[in-house]
Chain A
Amino acid sequence: MKSSRNPERVLAGVAARGLKLDLGTVDLCFLVALYVRGETANLTSFTESQLEDVFAQASDAVQPEADQLRRRATHAIQRLRDQRLLARVDGQGVVRTGEFALSRLATGIVEFFLEEDVLTRESLTLLTTSLATALAGVLESARTASDDTRGTDDAWRDRVVGPLQITIGELVAGIERRQRGLDLQQEDFQAEIRRLLEADWFGAIDRCQDLLASTSATLHELNQVLLRDTSVLLGLLQEIEALAISAGAAEAEVTSHRVMDQVDRIATWGAARQRAWSDYFQYVHRYLRDVVRLDPTRALTQRLRDQLAGNGARFALTCAGATPMRILRTVAPLRERPPVVRPRAPREREPATEAGEDPQAVLEGKVQRALDGGATALSTVTTEVTAELAGPDRQGDRFVEAGRVAHTVAQLARATGELERPWVAVGDDLVIEDWTLGASKP
């Protein structure tokens, strides 16, 4: 059954509230005595004097020679009240002496310690039969609710969800509680077998075998009952779930699914215990046969102990020792790597003298060619010479080159200009003051 609680939040809440329980044997006996007194005398609450009487009874069992009974009873009642195990239920305050009842927490603790129910074939058959009958009733109600077109939500909640949660839940919890009881009983059996062997080595064989046989028979019977009955129970629950789905009753669907999970868990428990017990059963039988029967005086243990302690010659067991088969890995061909060599010729070249190109002479050549070509204005010469430097990324170079062209033109030709020289665009990105050019200088 899945819980929607957030574990971190729940733990933080418990930690913040500082919850704790501190119960000694006297306190537990006191609680148990109250529970039993309430059951036998049909009491729902206890007066203060009744509490003191019951405490005296509990104290007698644990500390028969202790004195100051009233004072200790007062402290014990206070301890239980502080821990919310005992609650005052009369609501009269100081007006009169109070009446007290065991809280749900106290009842739970007592029931845990008093729990002695163990699953038997009879109790399991009774419980599964009751469960099947109750489920058949719920199924009938589900069919009625499914046919009824009016007020279906209430009908499903009252006749299906409620019984599934309470009646069926209690019956299933009853089986699970008895399963836990049987688990504890098996642990006791295992401890008992050990005690029997320790107490009477060879003489305990028959008693051990009886214990094993009885437990095995019980488990076998339980498993058979579980296998047979759980399929019937699951069948009924599946029908209820199918009806709930078709009627759109989500709550009933979820509840029947939860109960199915619980029934599955019960069946799984049976199979798991059967397997575990089967292993244990075989182990103990082998032990009884191979160890106990072959060593009735239990001398082997002592002789082995002496041997281990170093009395006698040391020896070593011989075993076969074949080495594991070698599985060869796939061989990949080696890649040929050229040998490392040093070039014989020197890496560095000797420096040689090479005639350089004078950029100014080149520029002068270009300007002269433009002048010879008939250019009569600086703008024309500049356009012609800087044509190679066109483009947005070379704008700066062109600007510098235009200055050099003007300087060179002034050296090679006669330039005249008016007082107000006109600005003339040279290409898209350059504007210069224009000169009129005359003949070339000699």
Chain B
Amino acid sequence: MAELSKRERMAMSRTQMPTRDPAGRAATFDEVNLGFNTGLAVLEASRCLNCKRATCVEGCPVGVRIDAFVAHVAAGDISAAAAVVRDDNALPGVCGRVCPQEAQCEGACVLGNRGRPIAIGHLERFVADWALDHDEAPEATPPTGKRVAVVGSGPAGLACAGDLARAGHEVTVFEALHEIGGVLVYGIPQFRLPKDIVAAEVERLGSLGVSFETDVLVGPAVSLEELRDEEGYDAVFVGTGAGLPRFPGIPGEDLIGVYSANEFLTRVNLMKAFDPGAETPVYDLAGRPVVVLGGGNTAMDAARTALRLGGDPVTVLYRRTDAEMPARAEEVAHAREEGVDFRFLVSPIEFRGDDGWLGSVVVQAMELGEPDEWGRARPMPIDGMTEDVACDVAIVAIGNQPNPILAKATPGLETTARGTVVVDPETGATSIPGVFAGGDIASGGATVILALAAGRAAAAAIDAWLGADPS
């Protein structure tokens, strides 16, 4: 493409991501976004102004050199773009798909104030997918002879393992479940993040020399002390993530038909309950009313999954308004297009049912009051205004607490009152020397990219610690 002037670039509109048709896609688990082809990617990248002060980079929690990689894409050199992206982001194919870009890189792009930020996420995804198809084996680093155990295979653990392996350390990832990936495999659905993308990233780590042991619940099955004293690990990274789903604590929440989003999504994603031949059941949703409680990404995933299993209607009940929903903008838009209904300013107060089975949820009407300590308007009940909403299944997506098992089994590992592991924010160092932690287990429920950043920071700190460690 001929060199464009700044003015011409600014006049171009944002390249649309090709998507599957909403009507058809709501019946399948195939990925909704189809991805850019090279032509679309080059077109979109050519809009970038290559700002001197690239504010987009400041908006990315891991500082991906967006200006550099986008320029390579614009020049048609995808391989060079891939090298930049790979260097800065351990899981670019994942982040390109699931980061809340509008609040991060794209939110900080100078073109954003005209409503047309560069589609950085879509470009990152394009480059990452291209790289997976054109991957060369990563070069091996001379071994240091040091061994590191990584506990938990979510984004924090995977990112940490990758950097440590590249530094020449021998890394084993221990995972409790039977598959590697954490929330990326049991939580985020196929139609948003295909499982082969995660598998390819995991395979890449394998080719870097990372070993994986599934079916190991560290703590009960092997203590941190045993990993160090008997299995010869010199350091440990804890990336055990969020577990323990929260329930609203209202009458009837034990009725059959009330699922936590974790259980519902695990049954469908990890255990493949969407497949008619699967052995793990999920309640039959076909033609039945489903409600989802919450307004985050988990709620959107649950609602869109319920829709794909035939739920009719599927309604998201959220206690604030549209504007306060924490979910990614793209997910909310996709959910709407597919036919998910939204009801705002309602909060559940009771589940009702017959014979142990859910029949409806009573909701309390709310209004927005004074801002809370985070500056978000606090929802307040409107006296006397309640309503009975019929539903056969209710999916609760109001957050998780940290997984407590490892901390419980590890004396000396300091935790907060909320149950998160206490860490040095720079290094991830915990109260136990040689034990580092990061991701949701330290921050509380956050995002893939923040977990990844924490894993990488800890890897650097572990590398330094191992270098300094005389033993």
Bind each other:
no
Q: A residues touching B (Cβ–Cβ < 8 Å)? A: none
